[in-house]
Structure 1
């Protein structure tokens, strides 16, 4: 299988339960809820995406002909003088269109803990170490359990109440970015105060200006 990667680099995880953790960030190209083209945004299931996942022209991006080649590229991005368990965050777009058990095993053979950030419309491989599901609009959830549910807030057709009984360890509300981010943040704060099951997740990488 050839893997199409938009970008690949070493950074800190910016949001959710692993905020501040050193990680290799692996963004796969492509998504099943939006083409990534502005001309298609209005008709997309997920209309608020703020991520460029089109093509393979980002830092470290490209076409990788098989799992070992991509796993070697990920390992090469983890500095040799960094202590602790290596961690790779697989995201997109929608990573589960490409991330498979073979690639996960290749990462793990190189000592990596493997996390995924998915929209949940596809079932995740069983051998992942960390599953973060971020539900989008009216898209049907196939992956209804995992470590972390991270809901972009506010989505009129995806209220927190629709997900609060699912089998996740952590529940996060993340204010929707854009012109109304301050209002979304205030609303998320109030919701978390009234519903302590939910925690606030901020996009700290944007706040401090790192990729």
Structure 2
């Protein structure tokens, strides 16, 4: 099995439960959900003319839609060659759940790594049992995809981007009647760090004992 990789890099996780944890990000190409505020819109389309070599993909100095095809073994070898030391691997996109990630997860876990997937919850999750699932539910997006109940029930963390009260109300409607894990972490993440959204998220998190996710990497100006 091979994967279309937009980029692989080592940095700090900037969002959610693992904020501040050294992490290897594997960004997969392709996403049909169409979130208007998405900061990785270059990962949406999978075009054959954008396929490049692994060396070219890794040499990119800016965000582009270029991707390279890699196997699980290729990814492990690249991590070793680059000398990455992080043991936390974040599989993101795009929409990573478009791919069957079980083989990749098993190979990485065999190397002593912990996996996290960041997904919109709109595709069936084909992952290892040990993968930490972060569902960032995307509601009423242009792509018309629905958030799946099986994704919500598997979620270890639900991280919801908000700008206004209506976004919190929409999350409440989504979660009503859902069977969630008893220890699921619910995070509110202000869209684009807008002051009003941040104030609303802080207020709601305090009232409900939820968690604030502030996209630390954007404040630090790191990838």
Aligned to 1:171: 186
Is the contact between residue 10 and residue 77 of structure 1 (CA under 8 Å) also seen in structure 2? no
Normalised to the residue count of structure 1, the TM-score between the two structures is 0.81
| 1:187 and 2:200 matched | yes
Unaligned runs of 5+ in 1: 35-45
Which structure 2 residues correspond to residues 49-60 of structure 1 after superposition, within 5 A? 49-51=38-40, 52-54=42-44, 59=58
Q: Which has the higher helix share?
A: 2
Aligned to 1:41: none
Query: Cα deviations across residues 136-180 of structure 1 (Å, max 9, x unaligned)?
Result: 0134222012211100113646623132653362000000117xx
CA distance in 1, matches of 2:155, 2:93: 18
Is the contact between residue 5 and residue 63 of structure 1 (CA under 8 Å) also seen in structure 2? yes
CA distance in 1, matches of 2:205, 2:83: 35
CA RMSD, 1 decimal: 2.4
Aligned to 1:204: 216
Which structure 2 residues correspond to residues 21-36 of structure 1 after superposition, within 5 A? 21-34=21-34
Report the 3-state secondary structure (helix = DSSP H, G, I; strand = E; otherwise coil) of the residue aligned with 2:157.
strand
CA gap of 1:106–1:23, structure 2 versus 1, over 3 A, is same
Is the contact between residue 160 and residue 171 of structure 2 (CA under 8 Å) also seen in structure 1? yes
CA distance in 2, matches of 1:58, 1:150: 29
Aligned to 1:48: 37
Which one of 72, 76, 83 corresponds to residue 71 of structure 1? 76
CA distance in 1, matches of 2:83, 2:120: 26
CA gap of 1:65–1:206, structure 2 versus 1, over 3 A, is closer
Aligned to 2:112: 111
Query: Cα deviations across residues 17-61 of structure 1 (Å, max 9, x unaligned)?
Result: 000000101111111213xxxxxxxxxxx2221123255675467
Which structure 2 residues correspond to residues 87-166 of structure 1 after superposition, within 5 A? 87-124=88-125, 125-138=127-140, 139-142=145-148, 143-144=151-152, 145-154=154-163, 156=166, 159-161=170-172, 162-163=174-175, 166=180
CA gap of 1:76–1:130, structure 2 versus 1, over 3 A, is farther
Normalised to the residue count of structure 2, the TM-score between the two structures is 0.77
Q: CA deviation at 1:75?
A: 4.1
Count of residues paired in the alignment = 193
